Amino acid sequence: MSSIEELITGTAVGVRASDGVVLAAEKRVAYGFTMFSRSGKKVFKVNDNIGIASIGILADMQVLTKIAKAYMSLYALDTKTRPSIRSAAKLLSYVLFSNRILPYFVEVLVGGVDDEGSHLFIMDPLGSLIEDDYAAVGTGTKLAIAILESGYRQGMSIKEARELAIRAINQSISRDPVSGDGIDILTITSNGTTEETIPLQPLRLS
Protein backbone atom coordinates (compact mmCIF):
# COMPACT_ATOMS: atom_id res chain seq x y z
CA MET A 1 0.00 0.00 0.00
CA SER A 2 1.02 3.63 -0.47
CA SER A 3 1.53 5.86 2.53
CA ILE A 4 -1.91 7.48 2.12
CA GLU A 5 -3.65 4.10 1.87
CA GLU A 6 -1.88 2.97 5.03
CA LEU A 7 -3.35 5.92 6.92
CA ILE A 8 -6.86 6.02 5.44
CA THR A 9 -8.25 2.71 6.66
CA GLY A 10 -11.66 1.56 7.85
CA THR A 11 -15.15 1.97 6.42
CA ALA A 12 -17.86 4.61 6.62
CA VAL A 13 -21.15 4.83 4.72
CA GLY A 14 -23.93 7.33 4.21
CA VAL A 15 -27.49 6.74 3.01
CA ARG A 16 -30.00 9.45 2.10
CA ALA A 17 -33.65 8.71 2.86
CA SER A 18 -36.82 10.61 2.03
CA ASP A 19 -36.99 11.96 5.58
CA GLY A 20 -33.34 12.14 6.62
CA VAL A 21 -29.80 10.79 6.37
CA VAL A 22 -27.98 7.94 8.10
CA LEU A 23 -24.20 8.05 8.64
CA ALA A 24 -22.40 4.97 9.96
CA ALA A 25 -18.84 3.74 10.49
CA GLU A 26 -17.07 0.85 12.15
CA LYS A 27 -14.90 1.47 15.22
CA ARG A 28 -11.50 -0.13 14.53
CA VAL A 29 -8.47 2.18 14.45
CA ALA A 30 -5.62 0.79 12.34
CA TYR A 31 -2.66 2.17 10.42
CA GLY A 32 -1.64 -0.24 7.70
CA PHE A 33 -2.40 -3.65 9.17
CA THR A 34 -1.50 -2.60 12.74
CA MET A 35 -4.53 -2.17 15.01
CA PHE A 36 -4.33 0.54 17.67
CA SER A 37 -7.84 0.60 19.14
CA ARG A 38 -11.20 -1.13 19.05
CA SER A 39 -13.17 1.93 20.20
CA GLY A 40 -12.49 4.70 17.70
CA LYS A 41 -15.24 7.21 16.97
CA LYS A 42 -15.60 8.13 13.29
CA VAL A 43 -19.13 9.54 13.23
CA PHE A 44 -19.69 13.04 14.63
CA LYS A 45 -22.65 15.33 15.24
CA VAL A 46 -21.96 18.89 14.04
CA ASN A 47 -25.31 20.36 15.11
CA ASP A 48 -28.95 19.31 15.19
CA ASN A 49 -29.20 18.98 11.40
CA ILE A 50 -25.65 18.15 10.20
CA GLY A 51 -23.33 15.20 10.79
CA ILE A 52 -19.97 13.91 9.57
CA ALA A 53 -18.67 10.38 9.01
CA SER A 54 -15.00 9.99 8.18
CA ILE A 55 -12.16 7.52 7.94
CA GLY A 56 -8.41 8.13 8.22
CA ILE A 57 -6.33 9.66 11.01
CA LEU A 58 -8.50 10.26 14.08
CA ALA A 59 -6.81 13.56 14.94
CA ASP A 60 -7.57 14.92 11.47
CA MET A 61 -11.21 13.82 11.75
CA GLN A 62 -11.53 15.54 15.12
CA VAL A 63 -9.95 18.79 13.90
CA LEU A 64 -12.24 18.96 10.85
CA THR A 65 -15.27 18.31 13.06
CA LYS A 66 -14.24 21.12 15.43
CA ILE A 67 -13.83 23.48 12.46
CA ALA A 68 -17.27 22.54 11.13
CA LYS A 69 -18.90 22.96 14.55
CA ALA A 70 -17.31 26.37 15.11
CA TYR A 71 -18.18 27.83 11.72
CA MET A 72 -21.70 26.41 11.65
CA SER A 73 -22.36 27.87 15.13
CA LEU A 74 -21.07 31.27 14.00
CA TYR A 75 -23.22 31.06 10.87
CA ALA A 76 -26.34 30.31 12.92
CA LEU A 77 -25.62 33.19 15.34
CA ASP A 78 -24.94 35.63 12.52
CA THR A 79 -27.88 34.77 10.25
CA LYS A 80 -30.38 33.52 12.85
CA THR A 81 -30.99 30.52 10.58
CA ARG A 82 -29.63 27.03 10.50
CA PRO A 83 -26.92 26.39 7.89
CA SER A 84 -27.54 24.33 4.79
CA ILE A 85 -25.84 20.98 4.31
CA ARG A 86 -24.17 22.27 1.16
CA SER A 87 -22.62 25.18 3.05
CA ALA A 88 -21.10 22.81 5.63
CA ALA A 89 -19.77 20.53 2.89
CA LYS A 90 -18.31 23.45 0.92
CA LEU A 91 -16.60 24.75 4.06
CA LEU A 92 -14.85 21.42 4.66
CA SER A 93 -14.07 21.11 0.95
CA TYR A 94 -12.32 24.50 1.09
CA VAL A 95 -10.39 23.51 4.23
CA LEU A 96 -9.22 20.27 2.63
CA PHE A 97 -8.20 21.94 -0.63
CA SER A 98 -6.40 24.75 1.18
CA ASN A 99 -4.25 22.16 2.93
CA ARG A 100 -3.53 20.06 -0.16
CA ILE A 101 0.27 20.49 0.19
CA LEU A 102 0.18 18.96 3.68
CA PRO A 103 -3.22 17.25 3.46
CA TYR A 104 -5.58 15.93 6.07
CA PHE A 105 -5.48 12.13 5.77
CA VAL A 106 -9.23 11.62 5.65
CA GLU A 107 -12.16 10.80 3.43
CA VAL A 108 -15.34 12.53 4.53
CA LEU A 109 -19.11 12.17 4.28
CA VAL A 110 -21.28 15.15 5.23
CA GLY A 111 -25.01 14.61 5.57
CA GLY A 112 -28.09 16.13 7.08
CA VAL A 113 -31.44 17.82 6.61
CA ASP A 114 -32.13 21.48 5.79
CA ASP A 115 -34.97 23.52 4.31
CA GLU A 116 -34.43 21.86 0.91
CA GLY A 117 -34.61 18.33 2.30
CA SER A 118 -31.99 15.65 2.96
CA HIS A 119 -28.49 15.76 1.43
CA LEU A 120 -25.33 13.64 1.38
CA PHE A 121 -21.92 14.87 0.17
CA ILE A 122 -18.66 12.93 -0.35
CA MET A 123 -15.12 14.36 -0.18
CA ASP A 124 -11.64 12.99 -0.81
CA PRO A 125 -8.50 14.26 1.02
CA LEU A 126 -8.12 17.13 -1.49
CA GLY A 127 -11.67 18.39 -1.12
CA SER A 128 -13.35 17.10 -4.28
CA LEU A 129 -17.08 17.45 -3.61
CA ILE A 130 -19.83 15.17 -4.91
CA GLU A 131 -23.48 14.91 -3.87
CA ASP A 132 -25.14 11.49 -4.06
CA ASP A 133 -27.90 9.36 -2.55
CA TYR A 134 -25.53 6.87 -0.93
CA ALA A 135 -21.77 6.46 -0.56
CA ALA A 136 -19.01 4.42 1.04
CA VAL A 137 -15.44 5.49 1.81
CA GLY A 138 -12.37 3.67 3.06
CA THR A 139 -10.74 0.30 2.57
CA GLY A 140 -14.06 -1.50 2.82
CA THR A 141 -15.69 0.55 0.05
CA LYS A 142 -15.87 -2.23 -2.54
CA LEU A 143 -17.60 -4.51 -0.05
CA ALA A 144 -19.98 -1.90 1.35
CA ILE A 145 -20.94 -0.34 -1.98
CA ALA A 146 -22.14 -3.69 -3.31
CA ILE A 147 -24.73 -3.80 -0.52
CA LEU A 148 -25.70 -0.16 -1.02
CA GLU A 149 -26.04 -0.57 -4.80
CA SER A 150 -28.31 -3.58 -4.50
CA GLY A 151 -30.36 -2.36 -1.55
CA TYR A 152 -30.90 1.35 -2.18
CA ARG A 153 -34.07 2.73 -3.70
CA GLN A 154 -35.47 6.24 -4.08
CA GLY A 155 -37.91 7.29 -1.38
CA MET A 156 -36.81 4.77 1.24
CA SER A 157 -37.61 5.59 4.88
CA ILE A 158 -35.05 6.53 7.50
CA LYS A 159 -35.59 3.15 9.16
CA GLU A 160 -34.84 1.34 5.89
CA ALA A 161 -31.78 3.55 5.33
CA ARG A 162 -30.47 2.68 8.81
CA GLU A 163 -30.88 -1.05 8.18
CA LEU A 164 -29.12 -0.74 4.81
CA ALA A 165 -26.21 1.17 6.34
CA ILE A 166 -25.79 -1.48 9.05
CA ARG A 167 -25.77 -4.27 6.45
CA ALA A 168 -23.15 -2.42 4.39
CA ILE A 169 -20.83 -1.88 7.38
CA ASN A 170 -21.29 -5.48 8.53
CA GLN A 171 -20.28 -6.67 5.06
CA SER A 172 -17.06 -4.64 5.22
CA ILE A 173 -16.33 -5.89 8.73
CA SER A 174 -16.69 -9.49 7.57
CA ARG A 175 -14.02 -9.20 4.85
CA ASP A 176 -11.88 -6.08 5.42
CA PRO A 177 -9.17 -6.80 8.05
CA VAL A 178 -8.88 -3.15 9.12
CA SER A 179 -12.63 -2.68 9.68
CA GLY A 180 -14.39 -4.00 12.75
CA ASP A 181 -15.30 -3.84 16.44
CA GLY A 182 -18.81 -2.45 16.24
CA ILE A 183 -20.75 0.27 14.45
CA ASP A 184 -21.45 3.91 15.33
CA ILE A 185 -24.61 5.35 13.74
CA LEU A 186 -25.86 8.93 13.45
CA THR A 187 -29.45 9.33 12.27
CA ILE A 188 -30.47 12.84 11.18
CA THR A 189 -34.06 13.91 10.52
CA SER A 190 -35.97 17.18 10.65
CA ASN A 191 -36.64 16.40 14.33
CA GLY A 192 -32.93 16.30 15.22
CA THR A 193 -30.17 13.71 15.53
CA THR A 194 -29.88 10.34 17.23
CA GLU A 195 -26.57 8.63 18.04
CA GLU A 196 -26.19 4.95 18.80
CA THR A 197 -23.54 2.23 18.94
CA ILE A 198 -24.02 -1.39 17.94
CA PRO A 199 -21.36 -3.53 19.68
CA LEU A 200 -19.41 -6.20 17.85
CA GLN A 201 -21.29 -9.46 17.81
CA PRO A 202 -19.13 -12.35 19.12
CA LEU A 203 -18.41 -15.19 16.74
CA ARG A 204 -20.42 -18.33 17.36
CA LEU A 205 -18.34 -21.46 17.10
CA SER A 206 -20.26 -24.57 16.17
Range of the domain at 179: 3-198
Instruction: Please give the average per-residue pLDDT across 167-177, as a whole number.
Output: 90
The pLDDT score that the predictor gives to residue 12 is 96
- pLDDT for 110-166, tens place per residue? 999 999 999 999 999 999 999 999 999 998 999 999 999 999 999 999 999 999 999
Please indicate, yes or no, if residue 44 is contained in any of the structural domains.
yes
Please indicate whether residue 139 is annotated as part of the active site: no
Whether residue 205 lies inside any domain: the answer is no
- SS3 for 68-102 is HHHHHHHHHHHHCCCCCHHHHHHHHHHHHHHCCCC
d(CA 8, CA 57): 7
The Cα 52–Cα 49 span in angstroms is 11
Query: Does residue 203 belong to any structural domain of this protein?
Result: no
Would you say residue 99 lies in a domain?
Answer: yes
Q: Considering the entire predicted model, what is its pTM?
A: 0.91
The active-site residue out of 9, 11, 65, 193 is 11
| Number of domains comprising the chain | 1
- How large is the average pLDDT for residues 169-187? 90
CATH number at residue 97: 3.60.20.10
The residues, ordered by sequence, that sit 6+ positions from 46 with a Cβ below 8 Å of its Cβ are 52, 65, 68, 69, 72, 88, 112
User: Mind listing the pLDDT tens digit for each residue in 12-60?
Assistant: 999 999 999 999 999 988 876 677 778 889 999 999 999 999 999 999 9
Residue type at 102?
A: L
